């Protein structure tokens, strides 16, 4: 990757007359607070906060031509969740298909401004089937998938999953809601001799057949229970991926979340777990990044090559300022594949930039503010979309 100028080296505009930023988000959410702190820390006027709830109720929002508009996650707000999914219980898993349709419509209802998140790219990022196909076509290493792309095999229920496992010789695979996030509804499925089957997931299957998100990872070993979960999720759209064996750190499965800002891999965190799900809110914990770098180099690979994989994934979405890439290191640490690319994958509080990234001393939000101020040419003015 070589030496790169710091994001702090970008020409600084007069603070009092600097660019005006706006953020569409949930005002009470820490994501918005962290972004506000980053904007003020750059000496700029506080950003205008446009609540997602207002956008959804009013059928859109308008921005001045010179406003730089950032979109943030609509999650963790019960009212917004109700407007998007139509569910009265935010812990329910079902409804991601409706969420996707309403969210992408809401994004396209925003008018004007210079947009740091492209509506068309967001529509791909929030459909794992489409995102996988885009990455694969660009030569980014990804797990094999029979559901990738618009022509991928449909998954109408558990019978289709079983058929895919046989036909594609995938005894171990991940079943993912196509429009899910934060591991909601994800099942790590593995089969064995004698027809044995097991699924590891955070989904709690209630007695009435309802599915609920839980902070406890559990295992289901009765096929009828696994089938019931998959059958309930299928109407929202499902994506299947081969389960790649991952490298380990201290006896725990490990992967990385790498934040890419304006094309540069700026921040990285190691996530480790005793289960196949490494999400920190599900009991995963942060690993040691220096140990990962040492393991990669001991395997005869280069740490910069792994970061390059993440940057190649982000390059598939050139009109979106920031993405979070889930990098799956192979056993032995010599290679890696991309599991997902997340539009709102930048929540890494108190973590500063990687050495040589140009974002040293900056958290992920400050890095985005600095990059947005110096590289607006690639982002188009927001216009209504059909």
**Residue 15: which pLDDT band, with cuts at 50, 70 and 90?**
very low
Q: What is the pLDDT of residues 171-219, one digit of tens each?
A: 999 999 999 998 999 999 999 888 899 999 999 999 999 999 999 999 9
* Three-state helix/strand/coil letters over the chain: CCCCCCHHHCCCCCHHHCCCEEEEECCCCHHHHHHHHHHHHCCCCCCEEEEHHHHHHHCCEEEEEEEEEEECCCCCCHHHHHHHHCCCCCCECCCHHHHHHHHHHHHHCEEEEEECCCHHHHHHHCCHHHHHHHHHHCCCCCCCCCCCCCCCCCCCCHHHHHHHHHHCCCCEEEEEECCCCCCCCCEEEEECHHHCEEEEEEEEECCCCCEEEEEEEEEECCHHHHHHHHHHHHHHCEEEEECCCECEECCEEEEEEEEEECCEEEEEEEEEECCCCCCHHHCCEECCHHHHHHHHHHCCCCHHHHHHHHHHHHCCCCCCCEEEEEEEEECCCCCEEEEEEECCCCCCCCCCCCCCCCCCCCCHHHHHHHHHHHCCCCCCECCCCC
What pLDDT score does 193 carry? 86
Residues 6+ apart with CB under 8 A from 377: none
Q: What is the pLDDT of residues 35-45, one digit of tens each?
A: 999 999 999 99
**How many angstroms separate the CA atoms of 227 and 385, rounded?**
39
Distances from the Cα of 374 to the Cα of 10, 11, 69, 265, angstroms: 6, 7, 15, 17
Find out whether 92 and 84 touch, Cβ atoms under 8 Å.
no
What pLDDT score does 1 carry? 45
**How many angstroms separate the CA atoms of 238 and 128, rounded?**
9
Better-predicted residue by pLDDT, 9 or 83:
83
**Residue 139: which pLDDT band, with cuts at 50, 70 and 90?**
very high
What pLDDT score does 379 carry? 54
Better-predicted residue by pLDDT, 380 or 333:
333
Find out whether 110 and 63 touch, Cβ atoms under 8 Å.
yes
Does 383 score more than 50 pLDDT? no
Find out whether 308 and 1 touch, Cβ atoms under 8 Å.
yes
What pLDDT score does 19 carry? 77
Would you state the structure tokens that stand for residue 48, as one six-digit string?
Answer: 């205008």
What pLDDT score does 88 carry? 86
Q: Is 212 exposed, middle or buried (0-12, 13-18, 19+ CB in 10 A)?
A: middle
Q: What is the pLDDT of residues 55-102, one digit of tens each?
A: 999 999 999 999 999 999 999 999 999 999 998 899 999 999 999 999
Q: What is the pLDDT of residues 303-318, one digit of tens each?
A: 999 999 999 999 999 9
Does 14 score more than 90 pLDDT? no
Q: Is 167 exposed, middle or buried (0-12, 13-18, 19+ CB in 10 A)?
A: exposed
**Residue 13: which pLDDT band, with cuts at 50, 70 and 90?**
very low
**Residue 375: which pLDDT band, with cuts at 50, 70 and 90?**
low
């Amino acid at each position: 990757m070589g030496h790169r100028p710091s994001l702090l080296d970008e020409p600084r505009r007069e603070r009092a007359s600097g660019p005006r930023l706006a953020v569409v988000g949930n005002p009470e959410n820490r994501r918005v607070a962290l972004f506000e702190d980053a904007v003020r820390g750059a000496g700029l006027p506080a950003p205008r906060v446009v609540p997602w709830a207002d956008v959804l109720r009013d059928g859109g929002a308008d921005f001045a031509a010179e406003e730089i508009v950032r979109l943030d996650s609509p999650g963790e707000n019960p009212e917004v969740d109700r407007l998007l999914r139509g569910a009265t219980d935010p812990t329910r898993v079902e409804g991601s298909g409706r969420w996707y349709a309403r969210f992408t419509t809401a994004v396209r209802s925003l008018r004007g401004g210079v947009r740091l998140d492209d509506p068309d790219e967001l529509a791909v990022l929030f459909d794992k089937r489409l995102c996988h196909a885009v990455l694969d076509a660009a030569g980014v290493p990804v797990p094999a998938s029979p559901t990738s792309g618009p022509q991928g095999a449909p998954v109408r229920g558990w019978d289709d999953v079983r058929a895919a496992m046989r036909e594609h010789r995938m005894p171990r695979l991940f079943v993912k809601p196509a429009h899910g996030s934060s591991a909601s509804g994800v099942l790590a499925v593995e089969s064995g001799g004698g027809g044995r089957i097991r699924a590891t997931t955070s989904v709690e299957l209630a007695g009435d057949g309802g599915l609920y998100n839980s902070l406890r990872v559990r295992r289901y070993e009765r096929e009828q229970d696994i089938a019931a979960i998959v059958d309930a999720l299928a109407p929202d759209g499902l994506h299947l991926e081969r389960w790649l064996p991952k490298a380990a750190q201290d006896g725990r499965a490990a992967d990385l979340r790498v934040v890419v800002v304006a094309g540069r891999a700026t921040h990285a965190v190691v996530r480790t777990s005793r289960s196949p799900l490494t999400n920190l809110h599900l009991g995963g914990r942060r690993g040691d990044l220096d140990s990962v770098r040492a393991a990669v180099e001991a395997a005869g690979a280069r740490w910069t090559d792994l970061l390059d994989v993440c940057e190649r994934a982000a390059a598939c979405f050139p009109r979106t300022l920031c993405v979070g890439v889930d990098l799956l290191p192979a056993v032995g640490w010599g290679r890696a594949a991309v599991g997902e690319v997340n539009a709102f994958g930048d929540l890494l509080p108190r973590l500063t930039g990687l050495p040589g990234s140009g974002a040293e001393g900056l958290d992920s939000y400050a890095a985005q503010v600095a990059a947005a101020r110096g590289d607006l040419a690639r982002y188009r003015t927001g216009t209504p979309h059909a």
